[in-house]
Amino acid sequence: MNRPIGVIDSGLGGLTVAKEISRQLPKEQMIYIGDTARCPYGPRPIEEVRRFTWEMIAQLRKADIKMLVIACNTATAFVLEEVKEELSIPVIGVIHPGATAALKVTDRDIVAVIGTEGTINSQAYDEALRSIHPTIQVKALACPAFVPLVEKGVFAGSEALETVRNGLSSLNNLDFDTLILGCTHYPLLYDAIREAVGPDIHIISSGEETAREVSTLLYHHDLLYTEKGEPKHSFLTTGSPTHFQQIAKRWMGIDIQMVVTSVSLATSS
């Protein structure tokens, strides 16, 4: 079915999910909204995150999307269930796929989760992990400095490594073997995170598993696009289109055959 998949995020981080969807489902068209002007969502009150999420959804519904991917962990934690109840199309978040992927690889059944304040305080990952594995041990840590770093395009180098090392310092000497990157911005800091935690820790990004679930749901609902042709993705941002496009090109590794435009949502802050 030649209707687009809608993807929403608080900013640039959801590109990590969009990239994986594009890799696994190269025929599918995407429309992405990144609310970069109001990022990060992590420190915001639940009601504010809820309102911003519904504003992005309202924008995407104008494009007759066939599926919605909430590629923001904070929005997934706060709003996913009510969105699934309200919309008639398939809706998927990123928390359950990430939890599932972590449980597949952990050897000691001790998993660390890093994310925004909102995601960590919601305990959404704890609940998702324990709903599958009731005795799993979970170590959760908020890393509020990571999202602003990514949003300004600092993925590597001394500033990134120092910020990551400081942010993860309280995980030192904890006996976990698997680390969930519980924010879709964090995979852009993968190299710094890998250096900080060492080579023996499994690092889980939810993008790959989320894209797998997207594929499964599209197939189940007979929504896969099977015709020939190259999809043209549209990327909307509430912030600077130029900055967004630069980061998107750098991260997604393509000379963007994208339409990147600025969008004004219902409110601003």
Give the catalytic positions in this structure.
Answer: 72, 183
Matching residue, tokens 């969105």: 83
As a dihedral over the C-alpha atoms of residue 42, residue 149, residue 68, residue 244, rounded to 10 degrees, the angle is 140
Cα separation, 60 vs 236, in Å, equals 10
Q: At 97, which helix (H) or strand (E)?
A: helix 95-105
Place of tokens 């923001």: 72
Distance CA 47, CA 59 (A): 19
- C-alpha dihedral sign at 104, 109, 114, 120: positive
Query: In what helix (H) or strand (E) does residue 71 lie, and over which residues does it extend?
Result: none
| Cα–Cα distance, 124 to 91 (Å, whole number) | 17
Tokens 């324990």 correspond to what residue? 130
- 9 beta partners: 34
Name the strand (E) or helix (H) holding 81.
helix 73-86
DSSP assigned state of 229: S
Phi and psi, residue 249, nearest 5°: -60, -45
